[in-house]
Structure 1
């Protein structure tokens, strides 16, 4: 047995131990003539947090095993299906319960009390896990930008660790199946340990199983242990925009001009746009490593210009706070000069409380679909941007 298989078996054995006490609790609640289906279904009902985690673990290892088999290698990760996993873990417990000659069941009142206690703890754990994932995904756009494939291809062809880190950081701002698979592949194929840890942070943040791959065998290169760090500031980002081919590939569906005081409202707004299939540009989200508020300078303005050029549509998020912004009117004027399609989204205000010139722009309306209103006529956003 190889080292990787031994590592998996150790993990699998340790993971099964987590189910020992829950299974003992399930046994207390069942009649002696219980069926396997009843045992597993009771577990699912009372331990939804463990069941969800088990399904994720199974999918993770099942996919890895299928990958090996499809590439002509032997099966290495025999992770049982969730239903069979519970039966395996409870094998001794179920046999003992069925063969017991002195079986004594809890009273109905005691069973009901134990059920409520277990269910309450499990639901609380599940809510805590979900709240943590939601917090981690708060700024992440759950959509795949058009340049994803080019970035992924470049990662596996370049030998520049700093360029690889930039690619990892760019794709970590989004979530999609291909991006998640990319981070798993980084862990599997990358020799540099600090880049593996970057992939680990992303995968764990989105609530998926992850096992940090051991350092690869063979001759060690000094770059394997190099801690990769990239300097960040507006000037460095501007240099990359001018000379980096990947930066030139970036394209956004819309540039959202706003006041940063409306942060919570902006997050909710671009999440709705993501759900409709649009990639938005927001400076403190898409360029969060380089455009920090304390670094704001003349170069920041140049970067904003480039990002407006890279966006198909300019949206002004118009609120009371927007009227106090020095940046929004300037950004609007620049987008107008470029001939960009421009629309406004009214939040917490109406046309009667804003400067009159804003009313000359089409208005964006959010329903189940996104519409643009021009002169009282509504058309679909997709048709308007064509």
Structure 2
């Protein structure tokens, strides 16, 4: 299984490397007469900031995975290069900063055309960043950025033996109200390893709305069990959820003294004790 996961990662990495070719071709038209790899990186960050941010998030994601593997006594699997190292290793970058290519660029350089190309790319970058920020602000307007006090109880209950798909979906829909590193990490793990197709798809789609680095995993191969394809429509009110939390396995972990809702009746647990 580890070998399969590693091969998928390497395949995704090759596709990502190829995706840098077109942006770099566009930047080549905006380069000054003299440049080196550090100036090329500086221009890429400036003219394609969303793509650079995505690369950083991917690095953080796989660095976190490797740290977890090491923590549980397993060998690291991904060894994702730091973003600047990843960039400098690109074949397109190596070609652009080679002596021969820089000499050809200098020979045909036109300052006016380079300035126009640069300004055009900069305007597009600014527009894309603004649109992205507005989109994310709209999506995150109702999300909290502080972990709920009861998050450990929810995570423990989610992984408890015997929990139903209905119970998992309920916990999922409660935690999706939060945009925090711990919650995002939890959803990343669901996208990577949850064997129920519905929940794994839900995790993928929610991570997309948060702008996280994520790829949809294929359905698990082998003998299909009822658990893999079982679904739940999640028709439940905040009051219903509270009653279920009071009576199910989550209550075995924490005692909720007060519960106020996000959606009008229920918003945050005010106090809890072991």
Length-normalised TM-score, structure 2: 0.83
Other structure's SS at 2:29 match? helix
The Cα shift of 1:243 comes to 3.1
Residues 186 and 101 of structure 1, relative CA distance in 2, 3 Å threshold: closer
Q: How many residues align?
A: 264
CA distance in 2, matches of 1:234, 1:149: 20
CA distance in 1, matches of 2:105, 2:115: 24
Aligned match for 1:155, one of 152, 155, 158: 158
- Say whether the 8 Å CA contact 2:170–2:241 is kept in structure 1: no
CA distance in 2, matches of 1:251, 1:133: 34
CA distance in 1, matches of 2:79, 2:110: 37
Q: Does 1:133 align with 2:136?
A: yes
Larger % of helix: which?
Answer: 2
Structure with higher RCO (Cα < 8 A, 6+ apart): 2
CA distance in 2, matches of 1:284, 1:120: 42
Larger % of strand: which?
Answer: 1
Partner of 1:283: 263
Residues 235 and 46 of structure 1, relative CA distance in 2, 3 Å threshold: closer
- Say whether the 8 Å CA contact 1:28–1:106 is kept in structure 2: no
Residues 118 and 252 of structure 1, relative CA distance in 2, 3 Å threshold: farther
- Structure 2: any 5+ residue segments left out of the alignment? none
Partner of 2:186: 182
- Say whether the 8 Å CA contact 1:142–1:176 is kept in structure 2: yes
CA distance in 1, matches of 2:43, 2:239: 59
Aligned match for 2:213, one of 209, 215, 227: 209
Length-normalised TM-score, structure 1: 0.60
The CA deviation string for residues 140-197 of structure 1, in whole angstroms up to 9 with x for no partner, is 1111121110110111114321111111111111222211111122223321111111
The Cα shift of 1:249 comes to 4.2
CA distance in 2, matches of 1:176, 1:251: 24
- Say whether the 8 Å CA contact 1:24–1:93 is kept in structure 2: no
CA distance in 2, matches of 1:39, 1:176: 33
Other structure's SS at 1:283 match? coil
Partner of 1:94: 97
- Structure 1: any 5+ residue segments left out of the alignment? 256-280, 288-306, 313-386
- Say whether the 8 Å CA contact 2:239–2:266 is kept in structure 1: no
Other structure's SS at 2:134 match? helix
